[in-house]
A and B are shown apart, each in its own frame.
Chain A
């Protein structure tokens, strides 16, 4: 019946509005929920969320070894050509030629932090770092080589 639906509408609307007001009232009275970071003041103790995406980096272990096989999956996944994989061929102890990376060039100025390269990487060689102070005076400084000089691929990563 029309009138029943009408009254139900009114009460449903009031209920949903009160639910919203309860939530904002909770936030109003509970200041510990505040998520604002007073950034330059708390630089020393700044805690970023785990999922924060600052820039792409390639972690190296203490033997200066990375996990990148040079498969170019990240380069293919990147929507705006941020990553360029320069490959070379290493000679393995058995005398075979093996593909490896020479340089993994990363253009921070083009990157939108979309995370697609990290998802595409089959060997988890690249990750998102939590750094965000990327300002430089010359944009050529934003073009970075991710693998350390003289680094090589970790044993057992194919």
Chain B
């Protein structure tokens, strides 16, 4: 069958026939790297266009409609423009850190791709602590923002970076607790096992109201973690010109921009994996024929469908809600989300012990 895992198996077998295992492994790594970079480029193009169209339609506008049919080449034209622009480094900046920061942002995004299961049996690295790995590595992204802000030698950049630090450090708590509630129910940190545990129903349905609360808190917290409006305090166009990437131009800016969208994709993919069953098809109880029809849809389409649905929800947030002030932002986390998610995880633990889920 032409599934993603089938293709990867064919390539794996062919490489092992042609070369020694070491060279086959090296070639596979290269292929995986190229695929990840290709996915990044494709995501950047698709998500920027999607965001512009979604924002336009939500604000009763038309959106890009000039470049190419219905404007689908708009983000390609933007990329071309950014590629030919000069990537300036300001005179007073710390040159090494300044140029390193966008790369760190991209590398973090790349590392996060490793444990995500894109389809059935199609995963770069099936490690047994996938959830822990994701929550640990995603915290590194704050370092790239701090690095960019500090190295720019600009007050706006520094303030944006500091805000971003406060924001990500605090929102990571409630995101972590929301993820933890899934781990409590599953009893495993392995992303594959978490997906397999949802074969008879996704956690958002199986876990009653506490899981719904955890899901909502997770979505709010990851919106804040990816520095998107209504939590875009790190960029804060209205106060800090562009926050941590004020001084960046050309391709370095584009890397930050791309990293933002890739991070959105990744957190939505994690949300889809943990709460909406990853590549698991949608099944309803004992409706055998319905379940069989759902099984015919390829698992990669299920995964990308759920992920893009969550991305749409996050975009919906961005173009609906007013921005928060920095004190309101921290109030929301420390006075509302954190107590609620702590109480919620107690409920989930009780549910898991007493077996009250399906």
Q: Which of A9, A17, A25, A34 contacts B321 (CB 8 A)?
A: A17
A17-B321, A21-B320, A25-B316 given as contacts; is B61 within 8 A of A36 (CB)? yes
Cβ of A114 within 8 Å of any chain B Cβ, yes or no, is: no
Our count of residue pairs bridging A and B at CB distance below 8 angstroms stands at 37
| Across-interface contacts of B316 in A (CB, < 8 A) | 21, 24-25, 28
Kindly state the separation between the CA atoms of A27 and B63 in the bound complex, as whole angstroms: 13
| Across-interface contacts of B59 in A (CB, < 8 A) | 27
Kindly state the separation between the CA atoms of A145 and B183 in the bound complex, as whole angstroms: 78
| Across-interface contacts of A28 in B (CB, < 8 A) | 54, 57-58, 316
* Minimal beta-carbon separation of A5 from chain B (angstroms): 12
Cβ of A38 within 8 Å of any chain B Cβ, yes or no, is: yes
Contact B336 A10 (CB under 8 A): yes
| Across-interface contacts of A21 in B (CB, < 8 A) | 316-317, 320
* Minimal beta-carbon separation of B314 from chain A (angstroms): 12
* Minimal beta-carbon separation of B71 from chain A (angstroms): 12
Q: Which residue of A lies closest to B61 (CB)?
A: A36
Contact B62 A36 (CB under 8 A): yes
| Across-interface contacts of A34 in B (CB, < 8 A) | 57, 60-62
Contact A24 B58 (CB under 8 A): yes
A10-B340, A25-B316, A28-B54 given as contacts; is B321 within 8 A of A20 (CB)? yes
Contact A38 B320 (CB under 8 A): no
Q: Which of A10, A33, A38 contacts B60 (CB 8 A)?
A: A33
Cβ of A35 within 8 Å of any chain B Cβ, yes or no, is: yes
Cβ of A31 within 8 Å of any chain B Cβ, yes or no, is: yes
Cβ of B319 within 8 Å of any chain A Cβ, yes or no, is: yes
Kindly state the separation between the CA atoms of A72 and B53 in the bound complex, as whole angstroms: 51
| Across-interface contacts of B321 in A (CB, < 8 A) | 17, 20
* Minimal beta-carbon separation of B292 from chain A (angstroms): 31
Kindly state the separation between the CA atoms of A33 and B59 in the bound complex, as whole angstroms: 10
Q: Which of chain B's residues 20-51 have a Cβ closer than 8 Å to chain A?
A: none
| Across-interface contacts of A17 in B (CB, < 8 A) | 320-321
Q: Which of chain A's residues 19-46 have a Cβ closer than 8 Å to chain B?
A: 20-21, 23-25, 27-28, 31, 33-36, 38
Q: Which residue of B lies closest to A31 (CB)?
A: B57
* CB pairs A–B below 8 angstroms (24 shown): A20-B320, A20-B321, A21-B316, A21-B317, A21-B320, A24-B316, A24-B320, A25-B58, A27-B57, A27-B59, A27-B60, A28-B54, A28-B57, A28-B58, A31-B57, A33-B60, A34-B57, A34-B61, A34-B62, A35-B60, A35-B61, A36-B60, A36-B61, A36-B62
Q: Which residues of B contact A (CB under 8 A)?
A: 54, 57-62, 316-317, 319-321, 336, 340
